[in-house]
Amino acid sequence: MNEDLSFFLALERQVWEALQRGDAAADARLLSEKFLGVYNSGFESRAQHVARAAKGPTVSRFELQAPRLIRVNPDVALLAYKARWTDREGKPRVTYISSLWERAGEGWQNIFSQDTEEGS
């Protein structure tokens, strides 16, 4: 188990960067086929998440803060953090995020993400 907090933060940043670029292919590589997102808008599958990225950038800037890591087992890790970000319309947002990563072959994929807007 050589993966540490910085390793999983780097993976999570890759997801944010894919959303910032509107890079659906990168988003798809990072998400498991069984991915489930839980958002204010409801449940979202991998296909729905990737389709959103395919429509173009959804994030203009982001900063990940106060990260915490729980190693569930050698092949599963839970990353929780606070994200300060700006959406494509320029609206600043603050969201608390729980992101579950699972080892997939030689790499890792995100299998679950839950976002809670600050103040909700």
**Following CA atoms 52, 57, 62, 64 in sequence, which dihedral angle do they give, to the nearest 10 degrees?**
40
Q: What architecture (CATH level 2) is domain 5-117? A: Roll (3.10)
pLDDT category of residue 1 using cuts at 50, 70 and 90? very low
pLDDT digits (tens, 9 = 90+) for 12-59: 999 999 999 999 999 999 999 999 999 999 999 999 999 999 999 999
Q: What residues does each domain of the chain span?
A: 5-117
What CA–CA distance (Å, rounded) separates 19 from 61?
Answer: 10
pLDDT digits (tens, 9 = 90+) for 49-104: 999 999 999 999 999 999 999 999 999 999 999 999 999 999 999 999 999 999 99
User: How far separated are the first and last CA of the chain, in Å rounded?
Assistant: 36
Residue 3 pLDDT: 82
CB 71 within 8 A of CB 2: no
